[in-house]
Structure 1
Amino acid sequence: MVSGLDHRRYWLDTMLRIGEPVLNALGERKLKERLPTEFHPDRARYACLEAFGRLVCGMAPWLESEGLQGEEEKRRARYAQLVLDGIDAATDPASPDYMNFAEEGQPLVDAAFLAHALVRAPRAIAGSLSEEVKERLKTELRRTRRTVPPKCNWLLFSAMAEAALHLLGDEDYDRMRIDLALHFHMEWYKGDGMYGDGRDFHWDYYNSFVIQPMLVDLISVYRQASLAYEEMAKVIMARAERYASVLEHMIAPDGTYPFIGRSIVYRFGAFQHLAQASLQHFLEDKISPAQVRCALTSVIRRIMEAPGTLDEEGWLTPGVYGRQPNLAERYISVGSLYLCSTVFLPLGLSPDDPFWIDPDAAWTSVKITAGENMNMDFALKEL
C-alpha cells in the first residue's frame, strides 16, 4: 500500500527531476547555453531569469526546512548550495549567466518570483548569501523599479521585490509599493474568494499563479506594521481559505481540472495557492490535508506521465499533457513553464506533518461521484 511518505518521496523526486537541468546548468554557468530557446526565440533574453526565479519560488520552503534526516537532508543541502551559487551567477556581470534584471517589463515579473523565494526561505537563501552576492542582488532588484507596473497583478511584483529588499537589509526599500499593491487588490475583490486582475475579472488561474499567494505572504510579513494591515490580514486570510477550497473542488476524480484562461501551460502551478494553504495550515476545516495530498498527487502524476512533458534532455516543454505549443501565449518561453514548481510547496512541511502521515483520503469530487452524502458547499460571506 502506498503511504503518505511514499507520496512525499515521489513529490521530491519529481521536483528535483524538473529542477535539475536548470540548477545543474546554472551551477556550471551554462544555463544560457543549454536552456532551449527555439520556442518563442524573441523571449530568449528573459528565459533564464524566468526559469531560475520561478523554479526556486517553488523549491524555497523545502530548502528552508530544518530537521530533515539522512538522504533527504543531503539532497536539501546540495540544492540549497546550487541555488546560492545560482544567485551568484545570475548577479555577477562577469558571468556568462548574468541575468536580465534591467530591461523594462518582463524582468520585473521574474525578479519578483525570485524575491518571493527569498521571502519563503529567509534563512536558507536570503540569510545564507555572502555579503558580496547580497549587495549585487540588491542592486539587481532595485533595477526593476524602472518598470512602472500597470494596474493589475503586476503591482504585486513590485511589492514583492521591495519585500525582498527589506529582508536583505535595504533600509530604503519602498514601502509605498507594498501598500499600493495591497490596497488596490482590496478594491479589486469580486466576491467568494476571488480577486479581479485589475478592475476586470478573468476566468483563469492568476489568483493562484500570483495574486493570492503573494497577498498572503506580503500581509503575513507586514501585518504588524499597522492596525489597518492587521484588519486587512483577517480579510485576506478568510478569502484565501475559501479560494483554496475552490481549487480543491476543481480537481476531478481522475486528476484532471478545468483548462481555462491564460497561461495554462504552467501546468500544476495552477494549484500553487492550494499548496500554500497546505504549507501554512490555512485549509478550511472541511478540507483535510490528506485529501489535498492525494488530489495533488493525482494531478502531478497524470501530467508527468504524459509523454513529451519533458524533452530528451529533461527540460519542460510547452503544454499541459506533453508538448502542446499551441496552448502557449506569445509571452511564454520555456523558462516561464517552471512556475509549475510551486505545487511542491508542502515539501516544506516536516515529514511527520499530518499532510504527509495521515492515511490516504478521497478528495471532494471523488466523494461526490462515489455517491457519498456530502454537505452542501457555501459561498464566502462578505466580511
Structure 2
Amino acid sequence: MQSVHVVIIGGGYGGIRAMEHLAHHSQISITLIDKNPYHYMQAEVYDFIANKVDMSSVMIDLPSLCKSFGLVEFVCEEVSGIDTQNSTVSTTAQTIPYDYLIIATGSRTYFPDFIKGLRQHSHGVKSIPAALDFKQQFERSLLNRIEAQTQGCDVKPFNIVIGGAGLSGVEIAAEMAAYANHFYANGNFGCRGVDVYLIDAYETILFGMDPYLIESAHQRLVQLGVHVWHNNRIGEVRENQIILDSGKVLDFEFMIFTGGIAASTLTQHLGFETNGKGHLIVDANLNIPMHENIYAIGDITQAITEEGKFIPPTAQLAERGGEHVARNILRSLKGKAKHPFTYKNQGVMIALGGEYGAGLLPGGIKVKGYAAYLIKKAIFWLYSAPLRRRSNIGKRR
C-alpha cells in the first residue's frame, strides 16, 4: 500500500470517527484542520445549558487527541478554500496538500430570512460560545427575577421560547423546564414564574418520528409544564416578543431557535454543488461528484436514502459516514472498488429533562423513564470515554 496524506476538515463527530479508523494504518498520514482547538459534543448541550455538567464535559482537546495517534497533525486554523486541480487546502496561514480530502465541517443554526428579526433576537446552540452566552444570560435573568421579589410576587412573566419542535427543540425545552422546576423547588422561592413555550409548526412534535417517541415526549413535556403550541409558525421576532402567523403575540425573556440547520459557511466558497441550505451534494459513495478523492460527511451534506428520502442529520449519521469514507479510502488504496453508503438507524434516545428519557433500541425495543436516561448516559460514556483516554495519552507526549 502506497503512502498517502489524508486531510480532514472538521473535528466533529464524523471527522473524528474517520480519523480514528485511518490513523491505525502506518502508510497514512493525517492532518486534521479545525478553527477550534476542541471537539464539541453538541448532542449533550442540553445538559450543559441546564447546569447538569460543566463546559469541560462537552469538549475534547483536539491537539492532545491528535498527538495520541502519532501520525496525525492538528492545524487550528480556518479553511479559506480548496484547489482541486493542485489538490491543496488553503487556510488563513498556509497551503496543505492532500491525496484524499474529507470535508466534515458540520452545520450551523438556520435562521430563515423570511422571518423578520429572527437572527437578531434569538439564540442558537450550535457552538460552545452560543450555548455559553445563553446559559450565562439565563442565569443572570433568574437572579434578577429573584431580586425583584423585594416588591412581592407581582413581577413580569419570565418566558423561554423554543422555536422548533424537532429533536433538539424537544430536548432543550424539557431540560430547561426541568431545570427551572428544580431551581424554584431547591431554593424554596415563593414566586414561581418561569414558563417554557415550545412553538411547533406541525400538528405534532418530533414530526415524522416513531409514534411511541412522539407520545412519550409529549406526555413528559406536559408533566414538566411546557406549553406546546402546535400548528404555529413564527411570523416575526422582535426584541423580547414573538409574533406568530396566527396573530398570537408572546413576550419572552429568551428565545432559542432550533427550527432548522444549514451547512457551515465553508460550502459557500468551494464551488461544489449545494442545495438551498448550502449542504453539499454527494454521490452514493459520499464523494463530491467528479472528484473521486474528495468526500463529504455529516451535517454538511444532503443525505438521501436509496428510496430518495432525506435522512435527518444526527451524530450517529456523521459517525457512520466517517467510518464509511475511511473504509472506501482504504479500499481505493488496495485497488478495490468503493462501496456505496447505506445507513441503518441503530436506535434513537431522547433526553427529556432531569433523569428521564425515551427511546427506541435495535429490534424495536421501547424504553422510557429513568432506564432510558441511564441508557442515553451509557451511550455518551461509550463515545466520550475512549476519546478522553486517548486525549490524556496525547497530553503526556
**Which category of TM-score, normalised to the shorter sequence, fits these structures?**
under 0.3
* More helix, by proportion: 1
What TM-score, normalized by structure 1, do the two folds share? 0.25
What TM-score, normalized by structure 2, do the two folds share? 0.25
